[in-house]
Structure 1
Amino acid sequence: MIQRREFIRRSAFAAVLTGMGLDLSASPVNSLNLNVGACDWSIGQSSNPAGLALAKKIGLDGLQVNLGNIENKLHLRDPKIQNQYLEQSKSLGIPISSLAIGELNSFPYKSDPQTEAWVSESIDVAQAMNLPVILLAFFNKNDLRGDSQGKKEVIRRLKAVAPKAEKAGVILGIESYLSAAEHLEILDAVGSSAVKIYYDFRNSADAGHPIYEEIPLLAKEHFCEIHIKENGKLLRDGDLDWPRIGELLAKSDYKGSGWMQIEWSTPEGAEIVSAYQDNLTFVTKKINQQ
């Protein structure tokens, strides 16, 4: 595991090489060949089994699903709802790729007592549905930036639940606006192979982090899964250098869960299916390079 001190050392070394005029991404790389899915909430089907049919219509390889919301009592914890998803998945031939707990943005894992049970029970769900990754969202009310006490509590909670995740073979992925070094502080403090980074390039860039430096330093060991997005724009119309991102991931020998998920890349007023088909074509040709 790369600790924070080692990350800083490697970052400094990379900066020296760049200053010498050496292009760290110039050498030939293999294609990523990851499965391409989407988040059910970003195609208008949050925690709804009908999202699987829409994923098939778009042409996606699979779908990342939300555990649920407070109104439906995070209903994917119910075995009957799990079976609905699994039956629909089998019937359509569209895999469920991973799980997410989006409600943590409104009911913070860093402070709300009930969320400890949510995360623990989500491991049971992931194990029952054979899902390798659970995305833990740290935005809005759950944002960890500048919150040292919140980080300490998250570390305490993750240390308590990590052995269960390890035993179940499930990864808990932290998605946040934190820097690579801050993420590593949490991972090092928890000290579990079952806790990794769920990396979102757009979020990290918007937070001011050097994503093109973070990818080669962290991707292989610490990214469990990735989001591909340009908020409110088609991927091809955004300002991130997606071909470079794909090359850096491939050169890093990134595998993760074997999936990348397209999220929030529909322009205002655009039809979801056509927008996501456009995004899927872009991902396949420019990022995944299949």
Structure 2
Amino acid sequence: MLTRRKLLSNTALLSALAPFAGVSDLFAGARKQKFNIGACDWSIGKNSDVGAFDVAKQIGLDGIMVNMGSEKNNLHLRDKFLQQDYLLASKRTGVKISSLAIGELNNVPYKSDPRTEEWVWDTIDVAKNLGVTVILLAFFDKNDLRNDEAGKKEVIRRLKRAAPKAEKQGIILGVESYLNAREHLDIIEQVGSKNVKAYVDFRNTADAGYDVLKEVKQLGRDNICELHMKENGFLLGQGSLPWQQIRDLVYEMNYYGDGWMQIEGAIPKNADMLDSYKHNLQFLRQLFNKKI
């Protein structure tokens, strides 16, 4: 039983410690949060399709990362009527809209195409309307930033323009790319906004030739917004990534981000998608079963 004396004593302790930086970390163990686990809609066969919610419910997922659309449909999730369809599907199925992605940036590069500035600007509003806090900006294929100093410079310029709006709306712009930790940090530092962070995909980091654990540690907890969990061509836990060590590092860093991790891929050749995702979901729930 918490007596009045103990309550006053605890209050005094907290007051005494409050002026010191990092005091909240001392009490991090008292948080009762667990990660929510979702999936990218394109990875379950429902790319930018409201039908993703029904598939996600079959799998047992907590949520869905929704792709905004394509150049062909003019990033159709910007349409407010379609946004209502997504909200209704989420309510009907109990599957949350976890975050948004602009996957079309891989084909229509943010680093060079003028249309993409408007896409990012509008997607901030969509995120606000749908009640999510993270937007993934994809930097692969035609939008790859490796060995492209001019491209990085332009991306920094554009993010500087978008960041104030993201800050005002409470939205994080997450940069996902094959760049290393130092290069991601350089972009974040040059933009100069707490609402621009790195979107971490452990498989991508390994495929780019980097040490996954060192890279994530170098990025630091506060510079990561969300996590992709995948193994190309393998079920989670059956590929080459050191998942136990990844789990230990996440807990060691006391990382929580926006509270979501998204399964992407992790389907063996010719395997059933639903069965694979049920396995992957169970794997992550067992691996990350600690309250943080």
Matched with 2:107 is 106
Q: Which amino acid aligns with 1:109?
A: Y
Corresponding residue of 1:193:
194
Q: Is the 8 A contact 1:136 1:173 kept in 2?
A: yes
* Number of residue pairs the alignment of both structures matches: 262
Output one character per residue of 1:129-175: Cα deviation in whole Å (capped at 9) or x when no partner.
11100000000000000000000000000001100000000000000
What is the distance in 2 between the residues matched to 1:241 and 1:281? 17
The answer to whether residue 59 in structure 2 is matched with residue 58 in structure 1 is: yes
> Equivalent residues in 2 for 1:131-146 (5 A)?
131-146=132-147
2:185·2:219 contact (CA, 8 Å) conserved in 1?
no
Superposed counterparts of 1:208-219, under 5 Å? 208-219=209-220
Local SS of the residue matching 1:137:
strand
Give the CA deviation at 1:31. 9.8
Question: CA offset at residue 233 of structure 1?
Answer: 1.1
Residue 235 of structure 2 is matched in structure 1 by: 234
Is the 1:204–1:211 contact (alpha carbons within 8 Å) kept by the matching residues of 2? yes
Deviation at 1:71, TM superposition (A): 1.9
Cα displacement (A) at 1:287: 3.9
> In 1, Cα distance between the equivalents of 2:289 and 2:149?
37
2: distance between equivalents of 1:251 and 1:145?
30
Identity of aligned residues (%): 55
Determine helix, strand or coil for the equivalent of 2:117.
helix
The correspondence of residues 138-287 of structure 1 with structure 2, limited to 5 A, is: 138-287=139-288
Displacement of 1:190 after TM fit? 0.1
CA root-mean-square deviation = 1.5
- Aligned residues of 2:182 and 2:219 also touching (Cα < 8 A): no
Q: Distance in 2 between matches of 1:219 and 1:250?
A: 12
Give, as a single letter, the amino acid of the residue that structure 2 aligns with 1:142.
N
Describe the SS at the equivalent of 1:236.
coil
- What per-residue deviation string (whole Å, max 9, x for no partner) do you get for residues 92-151 of structure 1? 111000000000000000000100000000001001111100000000000000000000
Q: 1:149 to 1:106 in 2, by over 3 A?
A: same
CA change 1:282–1:32 in 2 (3 A) is farther
- Partners in 2 of 1:31 and 1:199 — Cα distance? 23
Distance in 2 (alpha carbons) for counterparts of 1:32 and 1:197: 22
Q: Following superposition of structure 1 onto structure 2, how do residues 33-72 of structure 1 map, counting pairs within 5 Å? A: 33-72=34-73
Query: How far is 1:214 from its partner?
Result: 2.3
SS at match of 1:235: coil
Indicate if the aligned counterparts of 1:225 and 1:260 stay in contact, CA closer than 8 A: yes
Contact 1:134–1:172 (CA under 8 A) maintained in structure 2:
yes
State whether residues 243 and 287 of structure 1, in contact with CA within 8 Å, keep that contact through their aligned partners in structure 2. Answer: no
Partner of 1:237, secondary structure, is coil
Shift of 1:288: 4.6
Equivalents in 2 of 1:74, 1:38: separation in Å? 20
Name the counterpart of 2:23. Answer: none
Is the 1:235–1:265 Cα contact (8 Å) retained in structure 2? Answer: yes
Structure 1 contact 247–287 (Cα < 8 Å) conserved: no
After superposition, the C-alpha distances for 1:48-94 in whole angstroms (9 at most, x for unaligned) are 01001110110111110000112222110000100000001011111
Q: TM-score, normalised by structure 1?
A: 0.88
1:110-129 correspondence runs (5 A): 110-129=111-130
Gaps of 5+ in 1: 1-27
Give the unaligned 5+ runs of structure 2.
Answer: 1-28
When the two structures are superposed, what TM-score results if normalisation uses the length of structure 2?
0.87
Alignment-mate amino acid for residue 260 of structure 1: M
1:75 is matched with: 76
Q: Which has the higher contact order (CA 8 A, sep 6+)?
A: 1
Please give the per-residue CA displacement for 1:16-73, whole angstroms capped at 9, x wherever unaligned: xxxxxxxxxxxx9x99821000000000101001001110110111110000112222
Give the secondary structure class of the aligned counterpart of 2:135: strand
Q: Which has the larger radius of gyration?
A: 2
Letter in 2 for 1:172: L
